[in-house]
Amino acid sequence: MPFSYTRTIRFQDTDAAGVVYFGNVLAMCHEAYEESLVKSGINLKSFFSSSAVAIPIVHASVDFLSPMFCGDQIIIFLLPQYLTSNKFEIVYKVFATDRQLLAKALTRHVCIDSISRSRKELPKDIIDWLHDWSDADATT
């Protein structure tokens, strides 16, 4: 089941034309990602400061379908997918409250050892998070 995150577009999210600046859509998607981690019981401070592993984004893309303006209420649906023992991706769909699709985004993440930078298996808490928010039980 996808995770949903509701947010209001702020003035700081917009550019000189008054619409959401392209890079800020990914920042909002990352907010949704962080909130989904919290809802799965993951401590963000520990997760992002872990010395054992890092899970960087190695690919990101966004398709813009309709402009977003300051004051707009949006809902971001996040659907993570297990890819391999050390990789997952997240599909995001950004909707207006009237259910109009505004944007689609994707981030791909790889788990690495923080010191050697070599690939490492996803930790159990991320596997559990994938189970919490994925459509299918793809990791078993």
Assign residue 53 the CATH number of its domain: 3.10.129.10
For the sheet with 73-84, list strands across it: 3-8, 73-84, 87-96, 101-110, 57-64
What is the model's pLDDT at position 12? 96
Domain encompassing residue 116: 3-133
3-state secondary structure of 2: coil
What is the model's pLDDT at position 103? 98
Judge whether 140 lies within some domain.
Answer: no
Judge whether 60 lies within some domain.
Answer: yes
Active-site residue flag, 13: no
What is the model's pLDDT at position 58? 98
Instruction: Indicate whether this model's pTM tops 0.85.
Output: yes
What is the model's pLDDT at position 136? 58
Q: Which two tokens stand for residue 57?
A: 């984004």
Judge whether 54 lies within some domain.
Answer: yes
Q: Residues of 95-104 as b/e, b for ≥16 C-beta within 10 angstroms?
A: beeeeeebbb
Domains of the chain: total: 1
15, 63, 113, 135: which is the annotated catalytic residue? 15
Q: Are 133 and 3 in contact (CB under 8 A)?
A: yes
DSSP 10-78: -GGGB-TTSBB-HHHHHHHHHHHHHHHHHHTT--HHHHHH-SSEE--EEEEEEEE-S--BTT-EEEEEE
Judge whether 128 lies within some domain.
Answer: yes
Q: Can you give the pLDDT of all 140 residues of the chain as single tens digits?
A: 799 999 999 999 999 999 999 999 999 999 999 999 999 999 999 888 877 899 999 999 999 999 999 999 999 999 999 999 999 999 999 999 999 999 999 999 999 999 999 999 999 999 999 999 987 544 33
Judge whether 139 lies within some domain.
Answer: no
